[in-house]
Amino acid sequence: MAVSASKQKRLAAKAAKAAAKSGNAGNAGNAGEASGASTPGTATPGTATPTGTEGGKGLAKTMSQLKLVVDRSATGVLTSAPLSRDIQIDSYTLSFHGRMLIENASVELNFGNRYGLLGDNGSGKTTFLRSIAEGDIELPPHMDTYLLSEEAEPTELSSLEYVVKTAQDELIRLEHELEDLLASEEGADNPLIDDIYERIDQLDASTFEPRAAELLHGLGFDKERMKMPTKSLSGGWRMRVALAKCLFKKPTVLLMDDPTNHLDLQSVVYLEEYMKTYNRILLIVSHSQDFLNNVCTHIIHLTPKRRLVYYGGNYDTFVRTKAENEVNQMKAYEKQQAEIEHIKKFIASAGTYANLVRQAKSKQKIIDKMEAAGLIEKVEADRKYVFRFPDTPKLPPPVLSFDDVTFSYDGNPDNALYWEVDAAVDMDSRIALIGPNGTGKSTLLKLMTGELDATEGRVQRHTQLKLAKYSQHSNDQLDQDKSPIDYLRDKFPKISQDIDFWRQNLGRFGLSGGHQTSPISTLSDGLKSRLVFAEIAQQAPGIILFDEPTNGLAPEAIDGLADAINHFSGGVVLVSHDFRLISQVAKELWLCENKQITKFEGSIEKYKESLRKGITIKQ
């Protein structure tokens, strides 16, 4: 078997280190005293002794400091050994805009695990990722971190060149890091050396271009789009370039904030398959329960009480374990409360008899000890998102129909995106549009609303039909300076100007308390989406068109949306990359492909399986 060049270097370095050790063996006994190292089992204030060290060498400084980034603050103490690839932060606290998000929590991220971060919209998940990425708590220098939250820069480089350059830069960085490690006191015995060699081996320069092309293709790029400069791409496509970049870098700590946004179903399946094998540290925020189920080995729940609670397993395991724990906790709570109540009744009935008073004082001490140890907390029921789109009068078919519709953006039928399409949407329709990226699913919705006109043929709408649409850009079109209450009052002045009326309406869509009066710009994407849903409800539409409505929504909020769609008396057409939402609401799957619309025979699970069969992952 051939030995790679990097492995040859590794063996040579270890041999040299061993020779140096044997030559200095006679002086080893006084090395600790000469260097001033601590004796085994002791640690000076402000230091922590790492496990597996001898003579106290390599003591890690504890980092207990406050670092401000804009108006976000975080504190904590890193307790991991300096050469460890695990992260353990004790007493971690995070605040944002003066609001406490995480308080006195333990952050534990172990190498080789893939964590899904869950929490309500606005609870601070994105801020938590940024806190780690931007170094609010300083991690050891060997733990490179990458946060996927923004699209790739607009440059003259093509998408392919951009990703290849990323790989080249990463290889140079790793080689410099390797040189520093070899020159350190531990030298070739440094436990991090093998990992660096492995990463260098994987970054084989001769394979950069084909591997980058494979990544981009898996994320939906065709050859022509790969050659386009990134400055010519939309934000959604540049986000895919950034995704390819971080997958190629394969950092020690990869932080991903809703990575499936802007992806179609096929690209989601590719990313899912790719991330299943990520063997470093992955911390991911995702609205997709399906994605979390297939990728994550652990779940971290950011609770309403600002704690981080850890669960082994995927999303389904988390739901099941959490429910079982809460049942047991509620039983223990009720038992303890009954015991306290019984003791209090005895104390109240003790009267003035000396022997009973002594017993009462003894009983009171039992309660005092319980309180000092911490009483069992009552389980707070998870918030259920129950909102509704108002019922609408039934209209006789045809309500919305396509008759021999041909559409081309340049008006030339020879370049048609759709060719002689016949289709119909009625008040009972529950349709999900599926198909490869670029086949015109969003375009079809625009033809339905009249934002685009057919090149040939005719799109007919019932004269009394009210259409409403949620698009990927609806959140951006909100007036960011207004509060949700003022936004709706100004949008629908004839409905009501009463603040309490709009408070109740927003509350039905999960916007409560300060979120109702804060500037929209300060709300999370999920809260903005719910505001748009509240706006759509006021329009009282007969048919609602949803174009990627799940972006930014917490999984529980997506379930609430599915419930609202299922109770809606009008028609629904959905474009989504969330397989679970489609499985919950769709009665028909329309496959948009080869300029036509055909009904897919089978479930969305069957469609996903067909996509998975065509994927080959090469790490």
Between 349 and 39, the more confident residue is 349
Residues 6+ apart with CB under 8 A from 477: none
Tell whether the model's pLDDT for residue 142 goes beyond 60: yes
33/126 Cα distance (integer angstroms): 48
> Picking from 172-176, 355-359, 486-490, 554-558, which range would have the lowest pLDDT averaged per residue?
355-359
Average pLDDT, the chain: 84
- In the sheet that holds 114-118, the strands lie side by side as 145-148, 253-257, 281-285, 114-118, 298-302, 308-312
* Mean pLDDT of the region 447-462: 96
Please give the pLDDT value at position 72. Answer: 55
pLDDT confidence bin for 500, thresholds 50/70/90: very high
* Mean pLDDT of the region 492-502: 91
* Mean pLDDT of the region 261-289: 93
Label residue 515 exposed, middle or buried (CB < 10 Å: 0-12, 13-18, 19+). Answer: buried
pLDDT, tens only, 179-217? 888 887 777 777 778 888 888 887 888 889 998 999 999
* Mean pLDDT of the region 485-511: 91
Tell whether the model's pLDDT for residue 347 goes beyond 70: yes
Going from N- to C-terminal start, the domains of the chain cover 155-251, 327-373, 400-614
Amino acid at 360: A
346/577 Cα distance (integer angstroms): 61
Residue 496, SS3 per DSSP: coil
> Picking from 65-79, 91-105, 324-338, which range would have the lowest pLDDT averaged per residue?
65-79
Residues 6+ apart with CB under 8 A from 549: 470, 529, 533, 561, 574, 576, 581
318/433 Cα distance (integer angstroms): 31
* Mean pLDDT of the region 505-518: 90
> Residue 309 pairs with which residues in a beta bridge?
301
* Mean pLDDT of the region 387-407: 93
Cα 481 to the chain's mean position, in Å? 27
Tell whether the model's pLDDT for residue 73 goes beyond 90: no
Please give the pLDDT value at position 349. Answer: 83
Tell whether the model's pLDDT for residue 402 goes beyond 70: yes
- Residues of the chain above pLDDT 70, percent: 87
Q: Give the E-state strand segments of 280-380 in sequence order.
A: 281-285, 298-302, 308-312
Instruction: Find out whether 567 and 390 touch, Cβ atoms under 8 Å.
Output: no
- Residues of the chain above pLDDT 90, percent: 57
* Mean pLDDT of the region 67-78: 55
Instruction: Find out whether 77 and 95 touch, Cβ atoms under 8 Å.
Output: no
- State both tokens at 433: 């549009």
Tell whether the model's pLDDT for residue 249 goes beyond 90: no
* Mean pLDDT of the region 477-498: 93
Whole-angstrom Cα Rg for the chain: 30
The winner for highest mean pLDDT among 55-64, 517-526, 577-586 is 577-586
> Picking from 10-14, 159-163, 332-336, which range would have the lowest pLDDT averaged per residue?
10-14
Tell whether the model's pLDDT for residue 555 goes beyond 80: yes
> Picking from 1-10, 42-51, 150-159, 451-460, which range would have the lowest pLDDT averaged per residue?
42-51
Please give the pLDDT value at position 594. Answer: 92
**pTM (global) more than 0.95:** no
Longest alpha-carbon distance in the chain: 103
Between 309 and 70, the more confident residue is 309
Please give the pLDDT value at position 183. Answer: 81
610/49 Cα distance (integer angstroms): 53
Domain 400-614: CATH class, spelled out: alpha beta
The winner for highest mean pLDDT among 21-25, 76-80, 593-597 is 593-597
Alpha carbon distance, N-terminus to C-terminus of the chain: 21
pLDDT confidence bin for 236, thresholds 50/70/90: confident
Pairing outcome for strands 281-285 and 67-69: unpaired
Instruction: Find out whether 417 and 440 touch, Cβ atoms under 8 Å.
Output: yes
Helix 265-275 / helix 235-249 crossing angle, nearest 10 deg:
20
* Mean pLDDT of the region 506-514: 88
- State both tokens at 72: 């976000």
pLDDT, tens only, 80-139? 777 788 999 988 999 987 889 999 999 999 999 999 999 988 889 999 999 999 888 888
Please give the pLDDT value at position 8. Answer: 52
* Mean pLDDT of the region 490-512: 91
CA distances from 225 to 192, 234, 271, 280, 615 (A): 39, 11, 19, 30, 20
Residue 105, SS3 per DSSP: strand
- State both tokens at 428: 């009972």
Please give the pLDDT value at position 9. Answer: 52
Please give the pLDDT value at position 40. Answer: 29
407/160 Cα distance (integer angstroms): 31
> Picking from 353-367, 427-441, 538-552, which range would have the lowest pLDDT averaged per residue?
353-367
Please give the pLDDT value at position 619. Answer: 61
